[in-house]
Structure 1
C-alpha cells in the first residue's frame, strides 16, 4: 500500500523537479496531487513520461487523508498552508525559508542528521535547508567526524535558477540582448545589477552587520544541522550559470588534516563523489553537475595559512540536491523510520 502525496508549488522549477525525481526513484505514491495558486488551476504538469496531473487550487484543497506534502510555493504561501496541511494530519516537508530556524521544526539533510526527523511530531513540519547550505554540510559531515571542523570560510558562485524561473529568464534575455546590442536595462528586473557576463556579490537582503541574509542562512543553518560550535563565514555571489551552485570551502580543524585522509573520508561518505585529479579537466564544474544527484568535490589541498587547514571545490545541482531531491530523500527517510506501513 502506497502513500497519498501532495506537491505544493507543482508548476515551479522545484515542484516540477520533485515530480520527476519521485518517478525516477520509484517513490511509493498511490496518488499524487499537483497544487498551485489559483492562476495555475487547470494547467497540466508531467508525472513521469506517461502521466499528466491537472493542477488543483492550493487555497481550497482539503489535505484530509493526504500522508505527505512536498512543499515549495514560496515562504509567504507556505506560512499559511503548511500549518493547515499539518493540522489535517499531513506531514509537510517544506522547501521554503519560513520554518527553517524555528526551534520545534527539524531542519534535515538525510546524509547529515537523519536523527532529527523524529522532531516532525511536534508540528507535523520538516524544513528543507537552503540550497547552498545543503551541499556544504554534506561535504562537511565526514570531515567533521574525522577531524573536527572548527571554522569554515566559504565563497559561493550560485546559479540564477536559485532565484527561480525569473532569474533564468533574465540571464537568457540579457545574454541574447547583449549579442544584438540591446540595452541591458530593458531586461533587468530580478537582479540588482547585470547578471549576463557578470558576477553579483549580493544574494537576498542586507543585514545590519553588512552580511546578506543568504550568508547568514549558511552560518545559522550549519549550526542547527551539523554543530553549533562550527563558525561559518560565508561570501555569497550570483554567477551567470543556469543550474548548479559552486563553492570554494576553506576549513580549519581541531585535529591534523591532510589531502589523503580527507579524500578517504569524503569518498566513504554517502552522497559525495570525489573527482580530484591535478590535471587539466580533473575537476567538476556546475555545467557538468546539472541533472546529477551527488555533491562533487574537487581541488583538495592543504591550507597552510592555518595549523590544520584544508580547502576544496564543491559543486551540486541546486534544483536537485539543493532542493527537490533533498525534499524527496527526507520523505523516503521519514517513511523508512516513522511512517512505514
Structure 2
C-alpha cells in the first residue's frame, strides 16, 4: 500500500546533481497521468515516487495500481515533501497557474501539461519565479521534442526546402457531450483553442517567425467555449499559416510546411508525427519524394522527458527548445485568436 510522506525518511539533503536521479510526482490521476508514469519510467534518470489527486482514495488506488510508494490527497503536503524533486501537472487548464506557482515556490521543478497557463502574463510570472528559485519550468509541448519535428527543424535550418513561406495544419475530433469536462466547461478553460489549436499555433510560430496579423472565424458559445475555428495567421515578411481545429467534427491531425524549394509534410498524429514526407523539385519535372519514419517511444513523451532531465541535471531553469518566452508568445497568439473569434461571433449576431 502507498504510504503518506510523513512516515518516509528525509532525503532532502541529497543534492539532485549528486544523485543524478529525479524523483517525480504526478499531479492528477486521469489518463494523462497513466501515460506520464509509463513514459517517465522509460527514462533512466527518472524515478516516479508519488501521485497527487484531489481525492485521497483515488490517489491511493492509483498508487497501488502503479506501484508508487507515495499517495497525496493534499497538494500542500506534496509541495512540502522532501521526497519529491519535480512535479508533472496533468490537471485541467485553469488550475495550472496556481499549482505550478505553488510547486515552484516550494523549490520543485515543474513540467506542466499544455497549455502551461491561460494567459501570457501568467506564463511570464511563473518564469520569473522559476528563475528566482533556480528551478526548472516548462510547458509539456512534447511535439517540439518528437524526433520527426526535430528532424524538420534540422531540414529547414539546412535550407533543404528553402525559405519557409506557408504552413497548413489541423487537429480536431468530435468530443462527446459527456466527454472530458476540460473540453466543455468554461471554468476549466474549455474549448478547442487551448486544448488543440495550441499545437498548430506552436508549429506556425516555430517555422514562420513573429506574428503580424490574426484573423479567425468559427463558433463560440455565449460562455466563451469555442467549438471550431478556421484561423489565418500572417507572419513576418508575408509568411502565412492556415489552421483549423474543432471539438465537434474531425480535422485530420496533420500538416505541411511549404518552402521556396520544397515542402515537409507532417503525418498523423501532428502532436507526435510518425513520419515526414519531404518533397523537392519544380514542375513540370517530377518531384523527388523522401519518406522518413520515426518509431514512437512509449506514448510519445519519452524524448521530451529525456531532454527535460538533461536540462535539470545541467542546472538549467528552462529548455532552449521550448523556453517560457516561446510559451508566452503562443499564449499571446491564442488570446488574439480568441478575441477575433468573439468579435466575429458578435458581428454576425
Q: TM-score range by the shorter chain?
A: 0.5 to 0.7
The change in CA–CA distance for 1:300 and 1:256 in structure 2 (over 3 A counts) is: closer
For 2:89, which of 71, 85, 106 is the aligned residue? 71
For 1:86, which of 94, 104, 119 is the aligned residue? 104
Question: Residue 247 of structure 1 corresponds to which residue in structure 2?
Answer: 253
Q: Where do residues 121-270 of structure 1 align in structure 2 (5 Å cutoff)?
A: 121=131, 124=135, 126-129=137-140, 137-138=149-150, 140-147=152-159, 148-156=163-171, 188-190=177-179, 205=191, 212-213=193-194, 216-218=197-199, 220-222=201-203, 225=206, 227-228=209-210, 229=236, 231-237=240-246, 247-253=253-259, 255-257=260-262
Contact 2:97 2:122 in 1 (8 A): no
The change in CA–CA distance for 1:222 and 1:73 in structure 2 (over 3 A counts) is: same
Contact 1:93 1:327 in 2 (8 A): no
Is the counterpart of residue 55 in structure 1 residue 66 in structure 2? no
Residue 21 of structure 1, CA deviation? 1.6
Q: Which runs of 5+ in 1 are unaligned?
A: 107-116, 161-166, 171-187, 193-203, 207-211, 264-273, 275-283
Contact 1:73 1:96 in 2 (8 A): no
Contact 1:214 1:236 in 2 (8 A): no
2 CA distance for matches of 1:60 and 1:191? 26
Contact 1:45 1:55 in 2 (8 A): yes
Aligned residues: CA RMSD: 5.0
1 CA distance for matches of 2:68 and 2:195? 35
Aligned length in residues:
250
Question: Residue 5 of structure 1 corresponds to which residue in structure 2?
Answer: 24
The change in CA–CA distance for 1:41 and 1:251 in structure 2 (over 3 A counts) is: closer
Give the structure-1-normalised TM-score: 0.54
Contact 2:130 2:137 in 1 (8 A): yes
Question: Residue 309 of structure 2 corresponds to which residue in structure 1?
Answer: 332
2 CA distance for matches of 1:46 and 1:127? 29
1 CA distance for matches of 2:46 and 2:106? 21
Question: Residue 180 of structure 1 corresponds to which residue in structure 2?
Answer: none
2 CA distance for matches of 1:190 and 1:301? 39
2 CA distance for matches of 1:131 and 1:257? 26
Indicate the SS of the match to 1:33.
strand
Q: What per-residue deviation string (whole Å, max 9, x for no partner) do you get for residues 298-320 of structure 1?
A: 55445979xx9x99999997993
